[in-house]
Every structure is written in structure tokens, then in C-alpha cells.
Amino acid sequence: MDDSDRKQDAPGCGSSPPGKKQKGPFVMRCDAGKHAWCRCEKSARYPLCDGSHRGSDVTPIKITIDEPRVVVWCACGISKNAPYCDGSHMRLC
Ligand code: FES
């Protein structure tokens, strides 16, 4: 995937492309299957894990999606319902 592909796959709702922490969620259409939410904040695919946590004590939160759907991933890091956004980012604005 090059940068132009990444921009096309970028989530809606005004989010910037995945790759760094931000003050709002990443809204992404996800395929069915296993997904891992980054907790180390080093992933180049943040909020999704790219394996950058290896060698540390931090591990991703893994979820399984039964069918393709839109997922609202927390990208601010303070959700109490991680890996999903719970609106807590509103306190950061
Ligand atoms: S992005 Fe909404 S709670 Fe983190």
C-alpha cells in the first residue's frame, strides 16, 4: 500500500489518515476477521497494531469482527471502552 492508497482508505468524519494519535476517533470500514488495536502508540498504522510493540510489555487489544462493518476506533487513547471510542475525546477539545 502506498500513500495514495492509504489516503483513499482513510476514515471519514474528518479524521486524518491512520498513523498517529489524534483527538478524535478513526472511523473505518473493517473486514470480518481479527483486528488488533495498538496500545503502544508506536504503530505506523495507528490505531491498528503493526507489531511495533514487540519487545515491550505492552500488547494490543485483539478483537474479532463477525461481518464487515464500520468501527469507531479510539485514537485519543483515553476511552474507557477501548478499543472503541466512547466519546471521552470530547474532554480533550
Ligand atoms: S477517540 Fe473517542 S474516546 Fe478516544
Structural domain spans, the chain: 1-93
pLDDT at 10: 35
* Atom nearest to 78 CA in ligand 1: 4
Q: How far apart are CA 40 and CA 9, in angstroms?
A: 23
In the reported structure, the alpha carbon of residue 93 is separated from the centroid of ligand 1 by a whole-number distance in angstroms of: 11
Mean model confidence pLDDT for the chain = 81
Give the model's pLDDT for residue 88.
94
Q: Which residues of the chain have pLDDT under 50?
A: 1-16
Nearest CA to ligand 1 atom 2: 85
All 3 cell numbers of residue 74?
479510539
Vertex 41: Cα angle to 73 and 79 (nearest 5): 40
